[in-house]
Amino acid sequence: MTASQTKGISILLVDDHPVVRQGYRRVLETQSDFDVTAEAEDATSAYAAFKAHLPDVVVMDISMPGASGLEAIRNIRLRAPRARILVFSMHSEAVLVKAAFKSGASGYVTKSSEPMVLVQAIRSVARGERAMSDDVAHVLALESLSPSASVFEQLGEREIEILRQLAAGSTQEQIASNLNISMKTVQNYQSLIKTKTGMRTDAQLVRLAAEYGLTSL
C-alpha cells in the first residue's frame, strides 16, 4: 500500500514491544496525514512487512532479539535502495548512530525526544531529507572530535552487527542462523574484525564493544 492509497504518509512501525508499538501508533495517528499501515516485532518480520506493504516510511527500533534493526535496515535497502527508514531508539551512542546511517537509515531520533520531534522527522524523511534529533546531532559532533573515533570507521555494517551479537553472547551458530549466512562466513568476519580493530581475542572484542555501547542493544 502506498501513500496514494492511504490518507497520507504510510508508516511501518517496528519495535519488539507490543505495548510500545501501540503507544506510538496512537501518537502517530493523531496526525491527519499519517497512517500506520503495518507493524513488526523483529528484523525478519520487518522485512516481510516492508515487502507486503511498501510503506512510505519505516520507523525502526534497532534493539531487537536476534538480528538487530541494523540488519533489517540493510536488508530492506538491498531490496529497495530508495526506502526511507527512520531509526527510533533509546540508544544514542555514536557508533550505533553511524552504523545505522551506514546501513541505510535516513534519520535517527531518540525515544527521549518529544513526540513532535518524531512527527517532524517522519515528515522530513518522507520528503527525502535526513533527520536527527538534537541529542543525536550533538553526540555525532562530539564524536567527530575524538581521537578514537576512527576505531569503528573501518568496520562495515555487517561487521558491526556480528560484533554486536558476539558481544551479546551469541554463538557463531546462532549468528549464522540470525543472519542467514554460513558458519564459515561468520568466522571470516570475526577474523576480519579482529584485524581491523587490532584485537587478538574474543574477550578483547567484547570489551571493545562494551566501551562503545554495542552491548547495550
pTM above 0.85, yes or no: no
pLDDT digits (tens, 9 = 90+) for 119-169: 999 999 999 999 999 999 999 888 777 655 567 778 888 898 899 899 888
DSSP string covering 80-129, please? Answer: -TT--EEEEES---HHHHHHHHHHT-SEEEETTS-HHHHHHHHHHHHTT-
Helices vs strands, H then E, count in the chain: 10, 6
- Taken in order of first residue, the domains within the chain and their CATH numbers are 3-144 (3.40.50.2300), 157-216 (1.10.10.10)
Sheet of 34-40: strand order equals 34-40, 9-14, 57-60, 85-89, 107-110, 131-132
Contacts of 130 (CB under 8 A, 6+ apart): 106, 107, 124
Place of cell 548512530: 97
**43 touches 165 (CB < 8 A):** no
pLDDT bracket for residue 6 (50, 70, 90): very low
pLDDT digits (tens, 9 = 90+) for 170-194: 999 999 999 989 999 999 999 999 9
Report the pLDDT value the prediction gives residue 217, as an integer from 0 to 100: 61
* pLDDT for 10 beyond 50: yes
**87 touches 136 (CB < 8 A):** no
Report the pLDDT value the prediction gives residue 1, as an integer from 0 to 100: 40
Mean pLDDT of 53-81: 93
pLDDT digits (tens, 9 = 90+) for 100-123: 999 999 999 999 999 999 999 999
